[in-house]
Structure 1
Amino acid sequence: MTRERAAGPGAADVVPGRGQYTEDARRQRLQWLRGHSGAALTSLERTGLDAYNLVGNVENFIGSVEVPVGLAGPLLFVGDAARGEVVAPLATTEGALVASASRGARAVTASGGVSTRVLSQRMTRAPVLECADIAAAHRLTEWLRERRPALEAQVGLVSRHTRLVDVEPHQIGRYLHVRFVFETADAAGQNMTTAATWQICRWLTDTLAAEDGLRPRNLLLEGNLSGDKKATVGSMLAGRGTRVTAECRLSRATMASVLKTTPEAMVKNHVSTVLGAQQIGMPGHGVNAANIVAALFVATGQDVACVHESGVSIFSMEQDGDDLVATILLPNLVVGTVGGGTGLPHQRELLTLLGCAGEGGGRRFAEIVAGFALALDLSTMAALVSGQFAQAHQRLGRARRVDWLREGDLDAALLQPMLSLGLDDPGLHVTRVEPSPPLRGDGIAGELGALAERRRLSGLHPLRVEWASGDGTPTAADLVAKVKPRGEEIVAGIAMVLSLCGPEPAAAWERWSPVTGFDDAHRRELAVYRRTESALTGLLPRCYGVLEDDEREAYVVLMERVSDDGGPWTRDRIDGVLRGVGRVHGHWLGRDEELLAEGWLQRVPEPVDLAKAHELWGALVRHAAQEQPDLLGPARADVLTGLAEDAGQWAPAVHALPRTLVHNDLNPRNIAVRGARVVVYDWELATVDVPQRDVVELLASTLGPDATADDVEHALAVHAEAVAAVSPRAAALVAGCDWRRGYRLALRTFMTTRLALYLAGHSQREFGFLPRLVQTSFRLWQLEEARGED
């Protein structure tokens, strides 16, 4: 909101501290702006920049804006100035950009790298001179051509780094546009060429002051013929900035394994995009080089306004035998490694990271931009050709507008009804809500949901909440509002990840995702927190209320904040978790039909579904084995592939064993231990299965690769005892079944489904826990194989 100003001359507000580069002046301006606009502007309070050092970079400095910087690459360069593997810092807020550039870099590197070369470096300024008539303009053109040495001398008076390389007169009637072309070494050169051109113009007007037949009537320093900060055909042909090219050769095998396409498909579809570019009148032809240009410009302090012209490119592909040869030309890359924003601290550090800071770095930087632009164009074109582009950028469609929860909505008005109902206190009144220190991450399911739907609030939001009960008793508590994505958003998020894994995993997920149990994840967890059975509530964090609002698509659990004590996963610690979850298993053991009849679990995958979906599990394993042979070598891949193919034989046996309510994601990321108390979070994947399913995941996540048969036997005995202790009915069911067989079947299920999904996702989103999980899982499998039982 802008404050209304008083009328009359001199009444308008003036920004304070004009021309002052001090912290006091910055704060004065910031305070003035708050009063002027009514905005709090709290994010501008702190800045890492020193106002004193910003002379020449910005005026009326009030603060700085952070842009996320991600690392793309590494990309192998075999260029002229750029050689070796390079990682590029990309400053961007566009999801999938860094991932796509990295994928292209991986393909290019695997095929031998990218060859790069700077062809020329030019910067232009084009003043316009208005002459008396056409004849005078023509005479002035000839006069300029005869005085080239004098023009060069004038440039030398201004800068020792700037060299005049060409003078191009363009007469239009009585107007003479003169395009002065300079070389500016490692500077982008706009300021240098402006100063040099102004010196030439001053000399010209002084020299011709007495020449009535030649003296211009009027002079404008820039007549728009230079194409400054504009995409023009003239600049594309003649060059403005650095003219740089990059080329690579991709093998068919690399294209199949990394880009998930073929040389023939790329070339065929490239032809159609060239036709489209010609139809629309595009200067040059490219895919999205401007993305790399903009991201590197912001990260390294380049003139961002030059992205428009610098992003012009000519991208080409052709098939050579079994290989694809791809080339890109950036004819107008306006970059520098000295001057301007390149001296700012963060930008200077990132230029140093690239080996491009200061004098001598300009050519290398230009080649790096071209190399990564080629990598991104290849990856993006491959995504378009194979259908991955739409899947990676998909957003769930809705037939209506949704008033989603936003950050500021977690306030007293929203929380009071939840607390009142959750604590059964109609007179409760919330008096204060404020954010608390953040938690570590939002969990994999939350991240996947946010990937598919970024427009609304989700994740874990710690809050300090104060309220008065109906009898006036004040209470304050540290709570966490878990705002859940919808299950279909999690499914779509997984689809987006798998779309980058290639057409086979993506198509298999599209077909079989309904049997994976993610669809109704948001409702399941809310239903769990509504339960009142002591066996379950004793394992959950205390719930202060839930919100299930389909109109707003708002699904929130308000729970206590409990932190883990950080202790190692000893046998005693594992036993404590097994006893806690065992009580839940024992309460519902053999009552699976009763649970399903309640309806809140909705679609629960059955063993026959697991067998039918072997196409999905096999596709995930093949992709993981191809992408991560160090993690999933041939022997391990054969085990997982065999399990998936034989699921029709062993999966039905799961249904014959006693089943119960299981957490279905029981790992240390979802567990907090505080002394004797065990708390288990994140029940969105809760389902009906054999109770040993939770045992398998806990052991695979905690025992480690050196697990022994005794570790397994001990854990199973502790778990069976805890389940049986719940009731005589549970004890009879435990005694009447082969408990060890249930564990073996659950291990097969876990490795076929969850482990395969983790492995495929790991190629796009690194899971730090996965290498150890894989090693331990296969160790548990090895122990079962050694027993020799079916």
Structure 2
Amino acid sequence: MSTSTSARRGILMDLFDDRQQVRSFHDRRMPKLYFEYKSQYYEGYMSHYWYDGFRIMTQQHDLHLQPGDELSRIGLYEYDTDKGGHQFIVTDVSLSVDECTLIIAVKLQGAESIDFLHQHIYAVILGNSPLHRFSQSEPTPFPSFVGRKHYTKDAVAARQQWLEQFTSNTLKHVNQSLFHEQPSILAGNIENYIGSIQVPLGITAPLWVRGTYANGHIPIPIATTEGALISSISRGAKACNAAGGIEVHVLKQTMVRAPVFFCEDMSSAIRLAQWIDEHKVSIKAEAERVSSISKLITLHTYPFADFVHVQFGYETGDAAGQNMTTSCTYVACEWIASKVKHLAELKYVRYIIEGNQAGDKKVAYRSFIGGRGIQVNASIHIPEAILKQTLRVSVDQYMKSWYAAEVGAMQTGMIGHNVNFANIIAGIFSATGQDMGSIHEASCGIFKARREGDGISFHVQLPSLVIGTVGGGTSLPTQRECLEMMGCYGRGKVYKLAEIIASACLALDLSTSSAIISNEFVKAHERLGRKSEGTGIRRSDIKPRFFQALLGEAYGKVTSFELTPLNTDSSVITNMLKANNSSFQGLHRYLLHLQPHLQQEVNLRHTSSTYLPVILKVKSNDREVMDLGIGIAKLSGDDRLSGLFESQMHIFGFEGSHVREITFYQQAPMTLLQYCPHVYGVTCDEDKEAYAILMEDLSSCSHLGTIESLTVWDEEHIDYVLADAAKMHALFMNKADELPAVLQLDRLDEYSCGDATELLLALTEYNYERYPTLISSHLYHLLRQFIVQLPSHKQRMKQYHQTITHNDFNPRNLGLRSTAGTKQLVVYDWELVCYQNPQHDCVEFLSYTVGVNASIQQWDTYIEQYRLYLEQASGILLDREEFEQITLLNALELAAVRYNLYLLANNLLHLSYMETIYQNLSRYILDKVKENPRLIELQPAN
């Protein structure tokens, strides 16, 4: 089957979630058709259809059909569709209840016949089916991209082309967008980007705001398609300015998150609530640990039945804070769960991160009363003279009408009472990059009028103004400009923005209510729009035939198997994926029971019995791994960081990692595979997303998985690894062309590294703030300097000797096999294998094993020993000074890229070894730079 046919069939099947599903036409909407049987034509109607067949109703009783008969032609009268040459097999013939109609069930056999049924019958009849778009051409699958490729010009063009073909429409205006030149800046704001909806942007007449942070006449940008809105705001601004300006004051900021904890009974839930109340100080410390901005200011418990709602209230600086506070609350909940699960009297069961009590993006009484986001008040007194002159309404007229309006609000159960705060909120939110999902909760406020003195005093309260001046969409080009128009972009500006919004709400409601009362109001129309079966390898798939397919016949018949214990705690990514989706991914140890073939008593490697110990590695695809990285970045609470991750995480080398290791084991030469575990078989099914490796059990190897006990690495065993690593690296030193084509792995070039500069700088800054005792000021600036110059450094590194490297070369992934009285290196987990400087593996391994008190002299001794081993194995003279320069560059790259990522994960996972290995590496970097600053100076490329 061709790729295009396969893709088309996948689209065709979208019509049928279940192949057995039967759909019926209405009596007066059945398509008329004709069919040929034994060279005669008959008429009828299609009454029902399903995936591979349909039902015909005809009143031609002279037709004598039997199950198994074949109709040689079918056609649709209305659509001029006529086709022969397909197998239309009759499966059932019956009479209707009134015996007036013959009912014929027809089934098509063969893929091409079913294809025809969908393409030329169903798609034509249904008309509105997306399949109809492809009736004249081959359909193509929706273009999919991962990582940085998702936000490229090519990806945008591919999606536009696909959409034009799919809908038969030409994109004339949507694709006219300023983001086309640099779509990567949209990472974290939108997916599947194709263009821009250009909402008109207007500016109000300057409004006199008299607040603590906003003080002066301020023009306000409003993005809207509602005519007369900006004129109405400007009219209200005119009246307010004439009255001396709007007094405004921010009351507080509270971003709420509300998880739920479940217990076994009500008494336990009440005791858990008491426990939480008693440990508020510790919970606050945990919640604030992942963010230097969020501060937990309130914590309330609400037990009910056998569960407890817990409301966390935060101050979030200048960010709206939804993501940030979710991260903080998640960490606090994890801490609570870790403590209470051991307390038998609490009978704790589990928790969920949100119990619908926070009011996030919903109109809720709790948010209206207690506040969510920023709470702000605004007031002004308008003398009657201004009311009459500018708004053409008297005090008596206004107050009497407003009394009726308030009664109407109460009778409808309105939460809050205002005229149209939502217009201001939506217009400013659109213009300044706020979260549009929070418009209605932010608009739920109070507008009150009270007769006072010679006029009316108007008062506004916005209790739930969810806004930010950093993060989210605020840094996009036009959104940033709109914030800058008001002097509200960046840190320290969110209260100013709140004061402006509240003042604008007052001005608009004053104008609109006056227009309604004076019968000058003409309502504008607001036009708002918004635009298979399980995959992977599951536990239930693990059966004798599964192992048989991987082993083949060489080892005999797999009769049964048993699962045996295996410690995989050091596998960080696998364990996080498991925790995230309860998947079967990771390493599993089995003992296979084999029945040898005749004349094959033993053909087993490592055992002389009919038992074969194996390790099954079930792999996740690269998208899951990359999504995990993005998820970790989102839990940092830094919106920009998570956005940069999505567009620039190619720097970490995860793309294609799900098949890279499998390809390596299949294609690498034996000279290289001698340093790997024996692989019995692999599975690589892209359609099912099933990836697995069946390999030998390495339990007999020493130093295996010693990540939690690094002290076992003494000089002797470090030397074993360095010697064999040098032999392994020497095999393809400067011989990339000699590798099989599938193993000619492209290492990121200097341009790709340059594309990721923003991410690496943001990551370095984040970790510097989180780990001030681990990352010194000197190291921080050194890393920043290196990252800024990374493209040039990468070019210099590429000009040096390169070879196949493991690229994750540490005690998590290697051990020592006893062979003939000596030790031999064995390395597994090759998903990050690439072609680069051999020093990369060396310096990574040493950062784990040299010990916390190792001096720079010890580092130099090990690196020099490795250089000599590599020189001897490769036959290439390696200048010591140049070798050390490239080693340092690889160490800096490791710190700036891989270890920066590890530190981000450590913020949540508390990896016991992370700080030790980072200190080891950073000490080497700082000592080498101090010893000779010129080591990392840029040199002209040859």
The bucket for the TM-score relative to the shorter chain is 0.5 to 0.7
**Aligned residue for 1:739?**
883
Contact 2:263 2:350 (C-alpha < 8 Å) held by counterparts: no
What TM-score, normalized by structure 1, do the two folds share? 0.53
Task: Work out which of the residue numbers 64, 85, 92 in structure 1 matches 2:281.
Answer: 85
Give yes or no for the alignment of 1:568 onto 2:712: yes
Counterpart CA distance in 2 for 1:689 and 1:731 is: 18
Residues 613 and 433 (structure 1), Cα distance of their counterparts in 2 relative to 1, 3 Å cut: same
Give yes or no for the alignment of 1:514 onto 2:650: yes
Give yes or no for the alignment of 1:581 onto 2:581: no
Counterpart CA distance in 1 for 2:349 and 2:907 is: 35
Aligned-residue offset at 1:641: 1.7
Counterpart CA distance in 2 for 1:105 and 1:741 is: 38
**Aligned residue for 1:46?**
none
**Aligned residue for 1:461?**
588
Residues 402 and 303 (structure 1), Cα distance of their counterparts in 2 relative to 1, 3 Å cut: closer
Task: Work out which of the residue numbers 306, 314, 318 in structure 1 matches 2:366.
Answer: 314
Contact 1:589 1:661 (C-alpha < 8 Å) held by counterparts: yes
Residues 404 and 111 (structure 1), Cα distance of their counterparts in 2 relative to 1, 3 Å cut: closer
Task: Work out which of the residue numbers 670, 674, 691 in structure 1 matches 2:813.
Answer: 670
Deviations 1:577-632 (A, max 9, x none): 1112211110010012444x612465531233223311111111111122332333
Letter in 1 for 2:742: G
Counterpart secondary structure, 2:372: strand
Report how many aligned residue pairs link the two structures: 479
Counterpart CA distance in 2 for 1:456 and 1:115 is: 34
Counterpart CA distance in 2 for 1:435 and 1:245 is: 41
**Aligned residue for 1:697?**
844
Counterpart CA distance in 2 for 1:696 and 1:763 is: 24
Q: Which entry has the higher C-alpha Rg, 1 or 2? A: 2
Task: Work out which of the residue numbers 800, 806, 811 in structure 2 matches 1:657.
Answer: 800
Residues 296 and 309 (structure 1), Cα distance of their counterparts in 2 relative to 1, 3 Å cut: farther
Contact 1:604 1:687 (C-alpha < 8 Å) held by counterparts: yes
Task: Work out which of the residue numbers 919, 925, 928 in structure 2 matches 1:775.
Answer: 919
Aligned-residue Cα RMSD (Å) equals 4.6
**Aligned residue for 2:676?**
540
**Aligned residue for 2:540?**
408
Residues 683 and 733 (structure 1), Cα distance of their counterparts in 2 relative to 1, 3 Å cut: farther
Counterpart CA distance in 1 for 2:831 and 2:621 is: 10
Contact 1:657 1:737 (C-alpha < 8 Å) held by counterparts: no
Residues 660 and 83 (structure 1), Cα distance of their counterparts in 2 relative to 1, 3 Å cut: closer
**Equivalent pairs: percent with the same residue?**
19
Residues 636 and 739 (structure 1), Cα distance of their counterparts in 2 relative to 1, 3 Å cut: closer
Counterpart CA distance in 1 for 2:642 and 2:654 is: 16
**Aligned residue for 2:867?**
720
Matches within 5 A, 1:287-326: 300-301=346-347, 314-315=366-367, 316-317=371-372, 319=374
Aligned-residue offset at 1:417: 2.3
Matches within 5 A, 1:322-333: none
Give yes or no for the alignment of 1:444 onto 2:554: no
What TM-score, normalized by structure 2, do the two folds share? 0.45
Letter in 2 for 1:754: R
Give yes or no for the alignment of 1:611 onto 2:663: no
Aligned-residue offset at 1:672: 1.8
**Aligned residue for 2:108?**
none
Matches within 5 A, 1:18-57: none
Letter in 2 for 1:437: P
Give yes or no for the alignment of 1:497 onto 2:632: yes
**Aligned residue for 2:903?**
759
Counterpart CA distance in 1 for 2:372 and 2:649 is: 36
**Aligned residue for 1:344?**
none
Counterpart CA distance in 2 for 1:444 and 1:655 is: 30
Matches within 5 A, 1:50-129: 82=278, 84-87=280-283, 103=287, 111=295, 113-114=297-298
Aligned-residue offset at 1:253: 6.8
Counterpart CA distance in 2 for 1:251 and 1:599 is: 49
Contact 2:294 2:325 (C-alpha < 8 Å) held by counterparts: no
Counterpart secondary structure, 2:592: strand
Deviations 1:378-418 (A, max 9, x none): 9x999x9959xxxxxxxxxxxx5444311132221011121
Residues 300 and 779 (structure 1), Cα distance of their counterparts in 2 relative to 1, 3 Å cut: same
Counterpart CA distance in 1 for 2:781 and 2:911 is: 22
**Aligned residue for 1:475?**
610
Counterpart secondary structure, 2:841: helix
Aligned-residue offset at 1:645: 1.3
Aligned-residue offset at 1:512: 1.2
Aligned-residue offset at 1:296: 8.7
Counterpart CA distance in 2 for 1:552 and 1:615 is: 36
Residues 108 and 697 (structure 1), Cα distance of their counterparts in 2 relative to 1, 3 Å cut: closer
Deviations 1:257-315 (A, max 9, x none): 99289xxxxxxxxxxxxxxxxxxxxxxxxxxx9xx99x99999348999x999999834
Give yes or no for the alignment of 1:630 onto 2:773: yes
Residues 77 and 547 (structure 1), Cα distance of their counterparts in 2 relative to 1, 3 Å cut: same
Aligned-residue offset at 1:550: 1.9
Contact 1:585 1:660 (C-alpha < 8 Å) held by counterparts: yes
Aligned-residue offset at 1:462: 0.6
Contact 1:462 1:478 (C-alpha < 8 Å) held by counterparts: yes
Contact 1:107 1:255 (C-alpha < 8 Å) held by counterparts: no
Contact 1:77 1:85 (C-alpha < 8 Å) held by counterparts: no
**Aligned residue for 2:622?**
487
Letter in 1 for 2:549: P
Counterpart secondary structure, 1:661: strand
Matches within 5 A, 1:135-284: 248=313, 250=315, 252=317, 259=324
Aligned-residue offset at 1:457: 2.4
Aligned-residue offset at 1:751: 1.4
Counterpart CA distance in 1 for 2:734 and 2:539 is: 43
Aligned-residue offset at 1:86: 4.2
Counterpart secondary structure, 1:667: coil
Question: Which piece of structure 1 moves more, 517-526 or 403-412?
Answer: 403-412
Residues 84 and 462 (structure 1), Cα distance of their counterparts in 2 relative to 1, 3 Å cut: same
In the alignment, structure 2 segments of 5+ residues that lack a partner are 1-261, 265-271, 327-332, 360-364, 378-463, 474-531, 602-608, 936-942
Counterpart CA distance in 2 for 1:741 and 1:105 is: 38
Letter in 1 for 2:315: L
Counterpart CA distance in 1 for 2:311 and 2:322 is: 23
Residues 404 and 633 (structure 1), Cα distance of their counterparts in 2 relative to 1, 3 Å cut: same
Counterpart CA distance in 1 for 2:741 and 2:755 is: 26
Counterpart CA distance in 2 for 1:747 and 1:523 is: 27
**Aligned residue for 1:529?**
665
Residues 249 and 511 (structure 1), Cα distance of their counterparts in 2 relative to 1, 3 Å cut: closer
Deviations 1:629-648 (A, max 9, x none): 23334333222222211213
Residues 255 and 773 (structure 1), Cα distance of their counterparts in 2 relative to 1, 3 Å cut: farther
**Aligned residue for 1:430?**
558
Letter in 2 for 1:544: Y
Residues 651 and 526 (structure 1), Cα distance of their counterparts in 2 relative to 1, 3 Å cut: same
Counterpart CA distance in 1 for 2:753 and 2:355 is: 52
Deviations 1:551-594 (A, max 9, x none): 32221111122233467111211111111221111001001244
Counterpart secondary structure, 1:725: helix
Aligned-residue offset at 1:485: 0.7
Give yes or no for the alignment of 1:646 onto 2:646: no
Residues 736 and 381 (structure 1), Cα distance of their counterparts in 2 relative to 1, 3 Å cut: same
Counterpart CA distance in 2 for 1:634 and 1:308 is: 42
